[in-house]
Structure 1
Amino acid sequence: MPRIACKFGGTSVASAAQIRKVRAIVEEDPRRSVVVVSAPGKRDPKEAKITDLLYLCQEMAEMGTDFSEPFGIVRERFLEIERELGVKTDVGAALDACAEDLRRGVGRDYVASRGECFNAIIIAKLLGAELVDPLETIVISGSGRVDPVSYELLAEKLKDETKRYVLPGFYGRGPDGDVKTFSRGGSDITGAIAARAVKALVYENWTDVSGLLMADPRIVERPRPLLEVTYRELRELSYMGASVMHDEATLPVREAGIPINIRNTNEPSDPGTRIVPELSEDVKLSSVVAGIAGKKGFSMLCLEKTLMNKEVGFTHRLLGAFQRRGINVEHCPSSIDGINVIVERESLKGCTDELIDDIKRSLQPERVHLVDDLALIAVVGEGMSRTIGIAARVFGCLGQAEVNVRVINQGASELNIIVGVAPEDYERAVATLYAEFVSSQSRSLAPPAA
C-alpha cells in the first residue's frame, strides 16, 4: 500500500484538543502511517515557548542556580497534555531524566530537541504507534545537513507497512553521536526525510493555514491560496520573501520527485497547496502566474563606461570588489555601456565609500552612483515563458498606477520578472500586480483566504 508521510507543526500539536484533531486526520486515511511531530506551539501570544524555557533551564543550570521554576512549567505542560488525552506514557520519566541531564550539563542541541521528544512520546501512545528514535535513524553532518545514509537507516526502521510510526522532528545525531538539530527548517526537514525514506505517495505538511498564499496578506486583503505550485516557482517566491517552506526542508522530496501538500489541521477538508515537480495539465492551461512576492532593503550601485563591453574582465573586476568585502551580489542587470549591481542594503554598512573608491580606481567608470534604498518585486510563474504579453501587462499596470520602475531583470528561464521600485511605491506595486494577474486566472481554485 502506498504510504503518506505527515508532519504536524507546533500549532497543530499545541494542546490536547489540537492533538485530537491530529488523531482524527491520521486515522481518517490508513495510508498516513508515518507521522512527524513538533514541540507544542504557543496556545496564546503571551505564553513562553517550550524551547525558550528549556534554554533558560540550561543557562541557569550552567550558573549553578535552581531551574525548578521554568522546568516546572515545561513539566506541567506535557503532563497536562497527557492527562487531558487520557493516556499513560513514559513522558514523566523522560522529564525526570532531562532534569538530571541538565544538572550534569548538556549542550544546547540536546535541550532544543526535548520538546519534540516529549511530545512524540505522548502522541505515539495516543495513536498506538511505534516511537522511532531519530538518534538511531537520522544522521546530521557537521554543517547541519542531512547525511544520505539517513534514508537507508530510516527505511529499514519504517519498513513494516502495516504499522504506524511516530518520529520527533528537528533532530538526529551528529558526527560525534550526540544530539544535533537541523540549523534551518526544523521538523519540516525530518518530515521530508521520512517521506523520501518510505518513498511516500505525498508528504503532507500540516499547519494552521490552508496552503500558500499568492501575495503577502499584510499588503493584499484576503489573497487567494495557491492550489498548485512547482518546486522551481516555490524557490523563486521564497527567495523574494514569501513565507514558505525553507529550501532545505524541500530538498529531500524534491530530489525524489515526491509532491508536498500544505494542509490546515483546523480545516482538514481544505485541499491546501500542492508543491509538485511539474504542474498538472489543467493548471498549465488555466494559469500563468503562481504569485507576487517581494521585499525591501536593497541598494543598487550603477556604473556607466563607454565601450565597457570591449574590456575583457570588466564585470569580473567589478564583482571582485564586492567579493573582497564579503558582500553577496543579488542581481546584476546590464547594458552595453552600463551595469547595475544589486545587494542587500545592510551588507553595505560601513564600507560604501571604500567600495566606490575601489571601483573608481580599478575600473575608471565615467559615472557611478548609488541608489541607496530599493524594493524588489517578482512576478513568478511557469507559464510566463509561453505566454505573449506578460511584460507588457507588468509595466502597463504599474504605469497606470503611477509606479516608476527603476530596474528590470529577467532570468534565462523566464520563470519570473523582477522589477525594482522606490520603497514608498512597494505596497502599491504589489497590490497592483496582484490585481492584474491573479484576478484574471484560476491557478487558485479556492476562494480568497479568510
Structure 2
Amino acid sequence: MGVKVAKFGGTSLANASQFIKVKEIIMQDKERCFIVPSAPGKRDKEDTKITDLLYLCYTYSDDVKLFNEYFNQLQGRYISIVNELELNVPIKEILEEIKQKIQDGASLDFIVSRGEYINGIILAEYIGYEFIDAAEIIYFNEDGLLDQNKTYTTINKLLSENDNAVIPGFYGSNYNGDIKIFSRGGSDITGAIIACGVEADLYENWTDVSGFLMADPSIVDNPQQIKQITFRELRELSYMGASVLHEETIFPVLNAGIPINIRNTNDPENAGTMIISYSDSASRNGITGVAGKKGFTIITIEKNLMNYEVGFVRRILTVLEKHDIYFYHLPTGIDTISLVLEASQIKDIHSLVKEIQAECKPDSIEIIPGIALIATVGHGMSYTPGIAARLFTALAENNINVRIIDQGSSEINIIVGVEEKDLEAAVRAIYNAYTTKI
C-alpha cells in the first residue's frame, strides 16, 4: 500500500459540516495515512479566520474587554464544532488553559499556532487517528531555519511507529523548545515536510478550488482546468500572481520527487491538478496557462557599443542593490538593456536614474511607467511551431500594443509587457488564441 499525506485548508475545516466532508474523504482511501489540518477558516465572506482572531487576542491581551470579545468568538467556534460532532474532546479545558497562557504573556508564535493545535486534536478524535504535536517532530535551528536533519529523522522515527496520525500545520519548535511558526499559509509547508519525512507517494493539498485554472477566472469566463503542471511551470505562473498554495511548499517535495495533487474538499470527485517534477509530453494546446500582473516600471538604457563595455551591467545592478531594488526581468539588445522593476520598490525614480547616468553614462534613458506583465507558460511551447506567432497575432488583432518581449532561456514561457489598461484584454486574447478550436 502506498502512503499519502493529505493537508486540509482552513475552508475545508471551517465548521462541523466541513469536518464531516473531510472525514468522508479520508476514510475513502486507506492510503491517506497522515493528515495535516489548518485552523478553521472563514465560514462565509463576513466571517473571521481563527488565526486572525488569535492575532487579535495577542494584540489586545492587555485590553480586557476586547480580548474577551475576540477570545469568546474563537471559543464559540470550537465548542460549536465539538458539540455538533458529538465528540468527547475536553475543549473548554483546553481553551481555558490557552487563555491563561495568553494572559500570562505567551509569545505571539505560541498564541497563533493554537488554531492548528486545537483543530488537530479535534480532527484526530473525530477520525480515530493518533494526534502528534508538530512541536515534537518539526524543528528550527538557531538561525530560524528548518533543521532538516533533525526534523526528517524524527518524523521518520515517530511516524513509522504510527500507521495513521494527525499533525497540526503551521508550526514547530525552536532550538530552545519554544513554539515557532512558519509564515502565513505555512500549513502547506508542514504538509510538504511530513510528506518528505515519511517518503510519501503523494502529497494531497485539499482546499476550496479544484486545482489550477489556465487563467484568472475574474478575467476569463470559465477558464479550463489545468490537469497536470510541472514545478517549473507552476513557478513561472506563481511569479505572476497565479497561486493556490504557499510557494515554499514546492521545494521540499520537488527535491524528493513527490507529486502534489491540488483537490477541492467541496468537489472530491474532481481529480484536481497534479503538480509533477517533469513533463513527459507537451500539453495539448502548447501552453499550460497564462497569468498577468500590474504595477511595473520599465527603465530602458541605451548606449552605443554597450556590449563591448566590461562591467556595464554590473554597474547597473550595483545601483539597484544600493536602492534595495530587485528586478523581474532584464531583456537586452546590442546597444540597449531594459530593467523591468516593480513600481512599489522604487522610492525615488529620479535619484535612481541620476545614479545610473553617473555610473554608466548612457546615451539615453527612457522611463515607461504603468506596465503590466503577462506570462504565457508551457513545456509544449518550445516544441510547437507557431506558438509565438499565435500569441502576437492575437494581441495585434485586439489592438494591444506590446511594450516589451522577453523569452526565458528555459523556453517554457514568453513574457510580454503591455499598458496596465490592456492587461485583461491581453490575457483574454492570449487565452482564446490557444483554447479556441479552429
> What interval of TM-score do these two structures reach, taking the shorter chain for normalisation?
over 0.9
Aligned to 2:315: 317
Cα distance, 1:243 vs structure 2:
2.2
Q: Is the 8 A contact 1:51 1:111 kept in 2?
A: no
CA deviation map 1:190-241 (0-9, x unaligned): 1111111111111010011111111011110111111000000000000011
Paired residues, what number?
Answer: 437
Q: Is the 8 A contact 1:90 1:121 kept in 2?
A: no
Cα distance, 1:142 vs structure 2:
5.5
CA distance in 1, matches of 2:244, 2:349: 32
Aligned to 1:377: 374
CA distance in 2, matches of 1:407, 1:423: 13
Q: Which AA in structure 2 matches 1:150?
A: T
Aligned to 2:252: 252
Cα distance, 1:315 vs structure 2:
1.0
Matches within 5 A, 1:32-111: 32-62=32-62, 67-111=67-111
Matches within 5 A, 1:342-353: 342-349=340-347, 351-353=348-350
TM-score under structure 2 normalisation?
A: 0.96
CA distance in 2, matches of 1:147, 1:237: 29
Cα distance, 1:280 vs structure 2:
4.3
Matches within 5 A, 1:15-34: 15-34=15-34
CA distance in 1, matches of 2:144, 2:202: 25
Cα distance, 1:412 vs structure 2:
1.0
Q: Is the 8 A contact 2:294 2:420 kept in 1?
A: yes
Q: Which AA in structure 2 matches 1:290?
A: T
Cα distance, 1:244 vs structure 2:
2.8
Instruction: Specify whether residues 24 and 39 from structure 1 end up closer, same or farther in structure 2 by C-alpha distance, changes over 3 A only.
Output: same
Aligned to 1:154: 155
**Range that drifts further, 76-85 or 152-161:** 152-161
Aligned to 1:338: 336
Aligned to 1:436: 433
Aligned to 1:233: 233
Q: Which AA in structure 1 matches 2:406?
A: N
Aligned partner of residue 61 in structure 2, secondary structure: helix
Q: Is the 8 A contact 1:318 1:359 kept in 2?
A: yes
Q: Is the 8 A contact 1:214 1:223 kept in 2?
A: yes
Aligned to 1:299: 297
Aligned partner of residue 88 in structure 2, secondary structure: coil
Question: Is 1:358 equivalent to 2:355 in the alignment?
Answer: yes
CA distance in 2, matches of 1:172, 1:122: 19
Q: Is the 8 A contact 1:144 1:182 kept in 2?
A: no
Aligned to 2:271: 271
**Range that drifts further, 97-106 or 64-73:** 64-73
Q: Is the 8 A contact 2:405 2:415 kept in 1?
A: yes
Instruction: Specify whether residues 399 and 141 from structure 1 end up closer, same or farther in structure 2 by C-alpha distance, changes over 3 A only.
Output: farther
CA distance in 1, matches of 2:21, 2:274: 21
Q: Is the 8 A contact 1:219 1:430 kept in 2?
A: yes
Cα distance, 1:393 vs structure 2:
1.3
Q: Is the 8 A contact 2:211 2:272 kept in 1?
A: yes
- Of 380, 384, 389, 1:387 maps to 384
Aligned to 1:445: none
Cα distance, 1:297 vs structure 2:
0.3
Aligned to 1:188: 188
CA distance in 1, matches of 2:320, 2:66: 50
CA deviation map 1:27-68 (0-9, x unaligned): 001111100001111111222221222222223324566733
Question: Could you list the runs of 5+ residues in structure 1 that have no partner in the other structure?
Answer: 442-450
CA distance in 2, matches of 1:276, 1:66: 47
Question: Is 1:410 equivalent to 2:407 in the alignment?
Answer: yes
Q: CA RMSD in A?
A: 1.6
Matches within 5 A, 1:199-218: 199-218=199-218
Matches within 5 A, 1:4-15: 4-15=4-15
CA distance in 2, matches of 1:220, 1:271: 22
CA distance in 1, matches of 2:105, 2:5: 35
Cα distance, 1:90 vs structure 2:
3.0
Q: Which AA in structure 1 matches 2:362?
A: P
CA distance in 2, matches of 1:361, 1:51: 49
Q: Which AA in structure 2 matches 1:165?
A: A
Aligned partner of residue 147 in structure 2, secondary structure: coil
Aligned to 1:444: none
Q: Which AA in structure 1 matches 2:151?
A: S
CA deviation map 1:383-427 (0-9, x unaligned): 111122211111111111111111000111101000000111111
Q: Is the 8 A contact 1:300 1:374 kept in 2?
A: yes
Cα distance, 1:285 vs structure 2:
6.1
Instruction: Specify whether residues 143 and 63 from structure 1 end up closer, same or farther in structure 2 by C-alpha distance, changes over 3 A only.
Output: farther
Cα distance, 1:355 vs structure 2:
1.2
How much identity, in percent, do the aligned residues show?
Answer: 45
Aligned to 1:447: none
**Range that drifts further, 50-59 or 168-177:** 50-59
Moved beyond 6 Å, runs of 4+: none
Aligned partner of residue 404 in structure 2, secondary structure: strand
Cα distance, 1:245 vs structure 2:
2.0
CA distance in 2, matches of 1:99, 1:72: 10
Instruction: Specify whether residues 251 and 184 from structure 1 end up closer, same or farther in structure 2 by C-alpha distance, changes over 3 A only.
Output: farther
Matches within 5 A, 1:110-129: 110-129=110-129
Aligned partner of residue 76 in structure 1, secondary structure: helix
Aligned to 1:448: none
Aligned partner of residue 7 in structure 2, secondary structure: strand
